Amino acid sequence: MATTTSPRTLYEKIWDAHVVQQRDDGTALLYIDRHLVHEVTSPQAFDGLRANGRKVRRADLTLAVADHNIQTTARVDAAGNRLPVEDPESAQQLAALVKNTAEFGVEYIEDLAPEQGIVHVVGPEQGFTLPGTTVVCGDSHTASHGALGALAFGIGTSEVEHVLATQTLLLKRSKSLEVRVDGPLGPGVTPKDVALAIVAALGAGGGAGYVAEYTGSVFREMSIEGRLTVCNMSIEAGARAGLVAPDEATFSYLRDRPRAPKGADWDKAVSYWRSLATDAGALYDKVVTIDASTIVPLVTWGTSPDDSVPITGTVPDPSSFADPSRRAAAEKSLAYMGLTPGQRMQDVSVDRIFIGSCTNSRIEDLRAAAAVAKGRHVAGNVKQALVVPGSGLVKKQAEAEGLDRIFIEAGFEWREPGCSMCLAMNPDKVPAGERCASTSNRNFVGRQGPGARTHLLSPAMAAAAAVTGRLTDVRDIAAREIA
Amino acid sequence: MRAIGTIEGKAYPLGRANIDTDIIIPAHWLKTVTREGLGRGAFETIRAEPGNVFDDERWQGAPILIAGENYGCGSSREHAAWAMADLGIRAVIAPSFSDIHSGNAFKNGILTVVLPQEQVDRLLEVAQEHPITIDLESQTVTTPYQDRFRFEIDAFRKDCLLKGLDEIGITMELDDAIAAHEVKAHADTPWVEGAAKAA
Ligand code: SF4
C-alpha cells in the first residue's frame, strides 16, 4: 500500500491497495479479489491451464455462471426433466463450463439454480462484488460492478487464464476521469437516459484510457440498481471501468447478501469502505460535467451507442456532421437502420421489444416497465415483446410482486434469466431488417442478430414502445400504480 | 507466444473508424471452444459489401491492417484477436485502439501500432499499391518512399513480443510476492476471502 499522504481518488486508493509489484516500466502486477467466469470466454483459458499443467490459484475467489448461450424458454418440462439446449455449439460451450469448473474446483451456479443469471447481475446480488475490491470477468460490461465502489473491468481470455493461474494481472494504471452530474432529473428521465447522455457527451471512444468516477448529486441520490445501469455503460464510452463511491445506499444494498461479510467482519468492512471515497483536493486527469436538468429521455438512431437523440427529436442529417468520417459513418448507419434524415423518432414503428440485459434487467427496471405496461396491451404490429429478468432471484422477486402477471396480461413473454436478445447467441434473435426497441447497451451492426436494427432506450420507454408499436415519449403515457 | 521482429507486406487499407469487435467477429462465431478457424468469420459484415478490401486480390493474405480511430471497441472477446490472427494479420495500425482489444491482440502476438491520423492517412494511400514495413526493434513504420514514422510501445510489451515470452510463466515466477500480498490482504481485509465455496 502506498504511504503517500497526498489526497487520492477512489480509483487510486483501490489500485494502491492491490499492487503486488510495481515495475520500472510503469506497469504493475495487480491482485484480483473477484473473478467471475462465464461460458463464452473461458473454455480456451481452462484449456491453456490444462496444456501447461497449471491449477486455479484461488478457487475461493472465483465464481462461474452460464448466461450468454442459455435458453430463456423453459429449462425443465412439466415432469421436471431437464430440456436440452438445442443448438449443439451452445450446448458444447455450456457443457465445457460444467466440466471445467468441476475439474478445476471452481464453484458453478448451475443453470437450474435460483441464483443463476447474467454474471453482472449475479455478482452484486450475491454480495460477491464488494466495495474496494478488484473484480474482473471475461466480459466488457464488468464495469457494472463499479456501482458498488469496486474497481471492475473486462478482460480477454488470455487474461482470464492469467487470473485463474496467478490471481493477478499485469496492468498500467489508467488516467482518471470525473464525470460529475448535478441537479434534479426531469420527469421520465431514468438512469439509462443518464448513461446514454454520458456516452453521448464523451463519445464512443472518449473514455479510452480512463477509469471514470461518477460523482454529483444525481449519483448520490440514485439507487444501486441505477448506478449499475450507468457503470454498465462506461465501456460504451471506451472507459474500461466506472466507479461510484460506496455510501449508505451501498451498505444497505449489501447487508445480508449471501456472500457479503457478516457480524464483526461486516462492521470492519463498512468502516474500511467509508475510507475509500475520493479525498477532498484529489485531482482527476480530466473532468466532464453534465447539468442533470438538460438530460431528457433518449433513444439511439444509429449503430454506435453515442448516436442518441431526445425521443422528441428527429433522425439527424449526416451532412450536419462537420467531421467527414463521422458523416460517412452516419450515412452507413442510416442505410443500415432504414431511417431517413429528419424523420421524427416517434414515427418509427418497431417490430420487437427486448426488456433485459445486464444494463436493465433488475427489479427496478422491471417495475418501471410494468408500471407502463399495466392495463395496456402490446400493439398489434409488435411481433414479440420479451421480458427477460437478470437472474432467477430477480424473477422470483418480480413474481412475488405480481409483475409477471402484468406483463403476461399485456401480451409480453415472461422468460427465464440470461443474456438473451442482447447479443443473440441463444435462440432469441431479431430477424434481419426488423427493428427492436431494446434496453440493452449496444446497437452495433448485427448485435441482436444479422441485419437486426436496434434502438437503445430505458425500460419504461421500451414498455411504452411496446404498447404503442412505435418509439414513444414515456412522458405521454402515464405510469400506473403496480402494487 | 510467437516472436515478432519485422513485419513486412501488404496492408489492408480499411481506414474506417470505430471498428467494433462485433464487426471483427460477429457473436454467432463465439460458440467455439478452441482458438482456431475463426478467420472464416472475420469481418463478415464488411466482406458482405461489394469491393471490400478483404476479398480484393491485391491484399490477399496481407499481414497488416490499417484502420481509423477507436479500433476494437466494444466487447472484450479475444475471439476478435484470434480471428485476426487466423486471417494472417500480425499488426494493426490505427490512430487509437480500445484498451481491452489492444491487450488481447498483444497476447496473441499481434502488434497494435498507434500513429497520428495524418500518418495513418499517408499509409492508407501508400498501401493502395505498395507494401509497408513495421520494425518493432526500432519502433518504426516505413514505406518504399521516404516515410519513416516512429511509434511508442511499452517496454514490457515490446520485450515480450520480441522474445515471444509467455506472460503467465513470467508472473508465476513472482509467486513469493503474490503470496506475501495475500498474507497482508488477509490481515487488512479478511472479509474479502472465501466468497465462493470451492466446489
Ligand atoms: S446481457 Fe449482454 S452485455 Fe450483458 S453480459 Fe450478457 S451479452 Fe454481455
Put simply, the answer to whether B22 touches A446 (Cβ < 8 Å) is: yes
E strand map for B5-139: 6-9, 11-13, 64-66, 91-94, 111-114, 132-135
Locate all alpha helices (DSSP H) within B41-112, ordered by sequence.
Answer: 44-47, 79-87, 99-107
CA distance A155 to A163: 10
What residue's CA is closest to ligand 1, atom 2?
Answer: A422
Q: Where are the domains of chain A?
A: 10-172, 175-247+278-294, 300-480
**Gap between the Cα atoms of A406 and A399, Å rounded:** 10
The domain over range A175-247+278-294 is classified in CATH as 3.40.1060.10? yes
Tell me the C-alpha distance between A276 and A14, whole Å.
8
Residue whose Cα lies nearest atom 6 of ligand 1: it is A419
A294 conformational bin, left if phi > 0, alpha if psi -120 to 50, beta if neither: alpha
Q: Kind and range of the H or E element at A37?
A: strand A34-37
Listed residue (A51, A141, A175, A89) closest to A426, CA to CA: A89
Q: Which grid coordinates belong to B108?
A: 496473441
According to the model, what pLDDT value does residue A3 have? 52
Q: Show the cell assigned to A164.
A: 485463474
A34, A40, A148, A155, best to mutate vs chain B, most B CBs in 10 Å: A40
Among residues B197, B188, B106, B185, which one has the least CA distance to residue A168? B185
Write the pLDDT tens digit of every residue in A311-332: 999 999 999 999 888 899 999 9
Residue nearest to ligand 1 atom 4, measured at CA: A358
| Averaged pLDDT, B105-129 | 96
CB contact under 8 A, B171 and A130: no
Instruction: Return mean pLDDT, chain A.
Output: 96
Binding annotation of A for [4Fe-4S] cluster:
358, 419, 422
Query: pLDDT by residue (tens digit) across A96-114?
Result: 999 999 999 999 999 999 9
Going from the Cα of A141 to the center of ligand 1, the distance in angstroms, rounded, reads 7
Contacts with A50 (C-beta within 8 Å, 6 or more apart), sequence order: none
pLDDT at A401 (0 to 100): 98
Residue A354 has pLDDT above 70, yes or no: yes
pLDDT band, very low/low/confident/very high, at A5 (cuts 50, 70, 90)? confident
Q: In this predicted structure, which of A355-364, B82-91, B160-169 has the lowest mean pLDDT?
A: B160-169
Task: Return d(Cα A190, Cα A239) in angstroms, integer.
Answer: 21
**Which chain A positions have a beta carbon within 8 Å of B23's beta carbon?**
444-445
Q: How far B145 CA lies from chain A's nearest CA (Å)?
A: 27
Closest-CA residue of B relative to A166 is: B172
Question: Residue A4 pLDDT more than 70?
Answer: no
A175-247+278-294 with A300-480: one CATH topology? no
Residues in chain A closer than 8 A to B104 (CB atoms): 156-159
B149 strand-pairing partners: B141
Instruction: Enumerate the known binding-site residues of A.
Output: 358, 419, 422
Which three three-digit cell numbers place residue B58?
Answer: 491485391
E strand or H helix that includes residue A453: strand A453-456
Cut 0.80: pTM above it: yes
Is A66 close to ligand 1, i.e. is its CB under 6 Å away? no
Name the residue with cell 521482429: B5
User: Which pLDDT score, from 0 to 100, does residue A465 have?
Assistant: 98
What dotted CATH number matches B6-165? 3.20.19.10
Class of domain A300-480 (CATH, top level): alpha beta
Query: Cβ of A156 and B76 within 8 Å?
Result: yes
Among the partner residues B31, B68, B154, nearest to A69 by beta-carbon distance:
B31
Give strand pairing partners of A354: A386, A438
- Cβ of A139 below 6 Å from ligand 1: yes
The domain locations on chain B are 6-165, 166-199
Question: Is the CB of A358 within 6 Å of ligand 1?
Answer: yes
Q: With 80 as the cut, is the pLDDT of residue B2 above it?
A: no
Q: What's the CA dihedral at A232, A236, A238, A239 to 10 degrees?
A: -20
Helix (H) or strand (E) holding A410: none
Under an 8 A CB cutoff, do B78 and A44 touch?
yes
Residue A403: is its pLDDT beyond 90?
yes
- Tens digit of pLDDT for each residue in A447-470? 999 999 999 999 999 999 999 999
Identify whether the C-beta of residue A242 lies closer than 8 Å to the C-beta of residue A222: no
Q: How close B11 comes to chain A (CA, Å)?
A: 20
> Which chain A residues touch B161 with a CB distance below 8 Å?
none
- pLDDT exceeds cutoff 80 at A406: yes
CB contacts, 8 Å: A446 with chain B: 22, 26-27, 45
Say which of A33, A59, A204 has its CB closest to residue B73.
A204
Task: Using CB atoms within 10 Å of the CB of residue A57, give its burial: 0 to 12 exposed, 13 to 18 middle, 19+ buried.
Answer: buried
pLDDT at A60 over 60: yes
- Taking CA–CA distances from B178, the nearest residue in chain A reads A20
Q: Is B174 within 8 Å of A29 when comparing Cβ atoms?
A: yes
Q: Which of A118-122, A478-482, B49-53, B134-138 has the lowest mean pLDDT?
A: A478-482
Q: Do B11 and B62 form a contact (C-beta atoms < 8 A)?
A: yes
Q: Which atom of ligand 1 is nearest to the CA of A361?
A: 1
Residues of chain B neighbouring A172 (CB-CB closer than 8 A): 154
| Secondary structure element (H or E) that encloses residue A407, with its range | helix A403-409
Say whether pLDDT at B109 is over 80. Answer: yes
d(CA A409, CA A363): 19
Per-residue pLDDT tens for A200-250?
A: 999 999 999 999 999 999 999 999 999 999 999 999 999 999 999 999 999
Residue position matching grid coordinates 433488475 = A362
Residue A11 has pLDDT above 80, yes or no: yes
Q: Which three cell numbers stand for residue A393?
A: 432471484
Most confident of A5-9, B35-39, B111-115: B111-115
Is A425 a pocket residue for ligand 1 (Cβ < 6 Å)? Answer: no
Superfamily of domain A10-172: Aconitase, domain 3 (3.30.499.10)
> Residue B166's pLDDT is what?
83
A132 with B189: Cβ contact below 8 A: yes
Q: Does the structure show a pLDDT above 80 at B147?
A: yes
- pLDDT for res B198: 57
Among the partner residues B33, B178, B198, nearest to A168 by beta-carbon distance? B178
| Segment A80-84 long-range contacts (CB within 8 Å, at least 24 positions apart) | A82/A112
Tell me which residue of A167, A211, A136 sits closest to A31, measured CA to CA.
A167
Of B15, B22, B148, the C-alpha closest to B94 is B15
- Report the distance separating Cα A77 and Cα A359, nearest Å: 30
Q: For residue A52, what is the nearest residue in chain B, using CA coordinates? A: B169
ipTM of the complex: 0.91
- Does A425 sit within 8 Å of B30, measured CB to CB? yes
Q: What is the strand order of the sheet A413-414 is part of?
A: A413-414, A384-387, A352-355, A435-438, A453-456
CA of A440 to the centre of ligand 1 (A): 8
Contact A47 B33 (CB under 8 A): yes
Q: How far apart are CA A111 and CA A70, in angstroms?
A: 8
**Strand, helix or coil for residue A353:** strand
Yes or no: say if A167 and A265 are a contact pair by the CB < 8 Å rule: no
A47: left (phi over 0), alpha (psi -120 to 50) or beta: alpha
Q: Which residue has the cell 483501490?
A: A14
- Residues A44, A100 contacting (CB under 8 angstroms): no
Q: Count of CB atoms within 10 A of residue A84's CB? A: 10
The whole-number pLDDT of residue B199 equals 52
Counting ligand 1 atoms within 8 A of each CB, the residue from A41, A135, A228, A358 with the most, and so the one to mutate, is A358
Pocket-testing residue among A359, A422, A439, A441, ligand 1, by greatest number of atoms within 8 A of Cβ? A422
* Span from the CA of A443 to the centroid of ligand 1 (angstroms): 12
User: Cα(B94)–Cα(B69) distance, rounded to whole angstroms?
Assistant: 6
Judged by CB atoms closer than 8 Å, whether chains meet at B154 and A101 is answered as no
Give the nearest partner residue to B178 out of A90, A101, A166, using CB atoms. Answer: A166
Ligand 1 lined by A122 (C-beta under 6 Å): no
Residue A58 dihedral angles phi and psi, to the nearest 5°: -130, 80
- Contact assessment for residue A423 and residue B27, using Cβ atoms and an 8 Å cutoff: yes
Report CB contact under 8 Å: A208, B98.
Answer: yes
Find, among A427, A408, A326, the residue nearest to A75 by Cα. Answer: A427
